[in-house]
């Protein structure tokens, strides 16, 4: 089972970066286009009459990066969010992306149109590895998603128990737990 970042995860990554960069020389402005975020999530999953143009995880990660940088769904911080999303997508699916020191310049090249989808895929292929640990991580996350699918209470309880223990190793569970807490809080506030 493939784990793709959804629009909630992309918004969470953006909000996290807004907080991280708030007291720096290059802060990120809040704001986004919901429709464009949806496009960024859906484009890697393109299916044309049962023809899948992006069949592999790394193809989809390259499309995700290109789409997020090119379509500009957020007011600010698109390249940084794209890099993070491109890191976590292979991470959740059994690969480790080792972000090189020139990654910021690479994303700027993508934004300027100097890099096409094939060069992004090449860059990802050169900087990605697969190991038994990364495959095991994917299997654990897949089991977690299958257990919790359609059961937000179970997801929240498992997430609250597991998330503190595996925060660094399994950020997917952490993201889902934080989103579940925020959703629960917002529902309580609406009732008041």
- At the topology level of CATH, where does 1-130 sit? 1.20.120
Residues paired with residue 85 on neighbouring β-strands, in sequence order: none
Task: Residue count of the chain, please give it.
Answer: 192
| Segments of the chain assigned to CATH 1.20.120.1870 | 1-130
- Which residues have C-beta within 8 Å of that of residue 185, sequence separation ≥ 6? none
pLDDT tier for residue 58 given thresholds of 50, 70 and 90: very high
The dihedral built from the CA positions of residue 175, 181, 184 and 189, taken in this order, carries a sign that is negative
Residue 13 CA to chain centroid, in angstroms? 7
pTM of the predicted structure, to 2 decimals: 0.80
What is the C-alpha separation between 40 and 187, in angstroms, rounded? 27
Average pLDDT over residues 2-21: 88
pLDDT tier for residue 167 given thresholds of 50, 70 and 90: very low
Average pLDDT over residues 153-172: 60
Strands 128-129, 96-97: pairing is antiparallel
């Amino acid at each position: 089972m493939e784990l793709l970042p959804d629009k909630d995860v992309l918004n969470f990554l953006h909000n996290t970066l807004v907080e991280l960069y708030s007291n720096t020389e290059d802060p990120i402005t809040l704001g986004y286009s919901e429709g464009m975020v949806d496009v960024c999530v859906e484009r890697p999953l393109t299916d044309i009459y049962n023809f899948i143009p992006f069949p592999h995880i790394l193809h989809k990660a390259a499309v995700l990066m290109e789409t997020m940088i090119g379509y500009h769904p957020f007011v600010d911080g698109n390249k940084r969010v794209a890099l993070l999303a491109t890191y976590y997508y292979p991470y959740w699916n059994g690969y480790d992306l080792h972000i090189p020191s020139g990654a910021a310049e690479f994303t700027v090249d993508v934004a300027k149109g100097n890099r096409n989808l094939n060069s992004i895929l090449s860059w990802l292929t050169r900087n990605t590895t697969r190991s038994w640990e990364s495959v095991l991580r994917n299997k654990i996350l897949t089991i977690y998603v299958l257990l919790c699918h359609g059961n937000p209470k179970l997801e929240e309880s498992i997430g609250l128990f597991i998330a503190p223990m595996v925060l660094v190793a399994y950020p997917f569970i952490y993201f889902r737990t934080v989103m579940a807490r925020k959703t629960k809080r917002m529902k309580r506030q609406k009732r008041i």
